[in-house]
Amino acid sequence: MPRLDLQTVTDPADDRLADYVSLTDVALRSKHEPAKGLYIAESSTVLERALRAGHRPRSVLLAPRWVPDLERMVASLPSGDGEPEAITVFVADEPVLEAITGFHVHRGALAAMHRPPLPAVADLLAGARRVAVLEDIVDHTNVGAAFRSAAALGVDAVLVTPRCADPLYRRSVRVSMGTVFQVPWTRIDPWPDGVATLREAGFVSAALALSDDAITLDELVADPPECLAMVLGAEGHGLKPTTVAACDLVVRIPMSGGVDSLNVAAAAAVAFWATRVG
Q: What is the mean pLDDT of residues 46-72?
A: 91
162/269 same-domain check: yes
Confidence tier at 35 by pLDDT (50, 70, 90): low
Report how many domains make up the chain.
2
β-sheet with 57-62: strand ranges across: 3-8, 86-91, 57-62, 109-114, 38-42
| pLDDT 10s digits, 173-208 | 989 999 999 999 999 999 999 999 999 999 999 999
Question: Counting beta carbons within 10 angstroms of the beta carbon of residue 258, is it exposed (0 to 12), middle (13 to 18) or buried (19 or more)?
Answer: exposed
92/125 same-domain check: no
Domain containing 204: what range? 121-275
167/31 same-domain check: no
Instruction: List the CATH number of the domain containing 16.
Output: 3.30.1330.30
| pLDDT 10s digits, 116-153 | 889 999 999 999 999 999 999 999 999 999 999 999 99
Q: What is the pTM of this model?
A: 0.88
90/153 same-domain check: no
90/206 same-domain check: no
Give the model's pLDDT for residue 171.
86
β-sheet with 228-232: strand ranges across: 185-187, 157-160, 130-134, 228-232, 204-208, 249-252, 215-216
Tell which residue, 245, 241, 238, has the closest CA to residue 264: 238
17/78 same-domain check: yes
SS3 248: coil
Give the model's pLDDT for residue 21.
78
162/106 same-domain check: no
| pLDDT 10s digits, 113-126 | 988 889 999 999 99
- Of 77, 92, 114, which marks where a domain is finished? 114
Distances (CA, A) of 180 to 10, 50, 174, 205, 249: 33, 9, 9, 22, 27
| Distance between CA atoms of residues 254 and 260, nearest Å | 8
Question: Bigger pLDDT: 221 or 20?
Answer: 221
- Of 114, 135, 158, which marks where a domain is finished? 114
135/175 same-domain check: yes
Instruction: List the CATH number of the domain containing 267.
Output: 3.40.1280.10
94/228 same-domain check: no
Confidence tier at 276 by pLDDT (50, 70, 90): very high
pLDDT at 28 over 50: no
SS3 207: strand
51/166 same-domain check: no
196/268 same-domain check: yes
Q: Which amino acid is at 252?
A: R
- Of 58, 86, 114, which marks where a domain is finished? 114
Confidence tier at 105 by pLDDT (50, 70, 90): low
Return the DSSP state at 76. Answer: T
Pair type for strands 249-252 and 185-187? unpaired
| Distance between CA atoms of residues 8 and 10, nearest Å | 7
Question: Bigger pLDDT: 212 or 265?
Answer: 265
Q: Phi first, then psi: what are they for 26, rounded to 5°?
A: -60, -40
146/251 same-domain check: yes
